[in-house]
Amino acid sequence: MFGLKKYNMAKFLQTKLPIWTFYTTSGGNAECEVEVVQTITQKSAALMRYFYDGSKKVASPQLGTFDQRHKDYMTVRTPGGYYLQERIVYAKHDYSCAVIEVTMKLCGHKHIYDLLVSNSSIKTGPHHKCIKQYRKRESKGRRVYHPYCQDILKNRGSFQNQSTKVERCLR
């Protein structure tokens, strides 16, 4: 394991700023996906994930538990009791962007990749090193973030909660 840089998921989430999904390899049609950290401790983070599903605004509570031995990992419990494993495979030194490998515990441990960007860097877009690392793992993927996405964080009370009947293999 010489030469492999280890990243810290808790450090990446240690922000009061929203964290946007810029690109993803996930299927579906979710747009403007953003995570807002509500509380964070040494062991876990409570997040609220907001996104548009067509014209519907959705709020989805997530509970992430940090792996104490492998700091780059976090297990995420989603509505309906589904579990995802998230691992930082690359992060810029200041954690303004990161490439996350998401493993779905169902669906034959399918991997998807997300390129996440802190709100402080979203206007300029992800750093070129983050894009390069994302493309190295997955040349395809779709853009999730657009300039109009900032509006999703206004008037957060008008969201629908995510159904607990979510397809098992979708995030």
Sign of CA dihedral 15, 122, 85, 46: positive
Query: pTM for the full model?
Result: 0.88
Neighbours of 125 (CB within 10 A): 14
Q: What is the mean pLDDT of the chain?
A: 88
**Domain assignment of residue 1, yes or no:** no
CATH number reported for the structural domain that contains residue 74 in this entry: 2.40.128.20
Residue 151: partners with Cβ closer than 8 Å, 6 or more residues away: none
User: Which 3 state secondary structure label does DSSP give 12?
Assistant: helix
Instruction: Read off the pLDDT of residues 49-104 as tens digits, 9 standing for 90 and up.
Output: 999 998 899 999 999 999 999 999 999 998 888 889 999 999 999 999 999 999 98
For the chain, give the longest Cα–Cα distance. 49
Q: What is the pLDDT of residue 167?
A: 45
Domain that holds residue 47: 18-147
Q: How many domains does the chain have?
A: 1
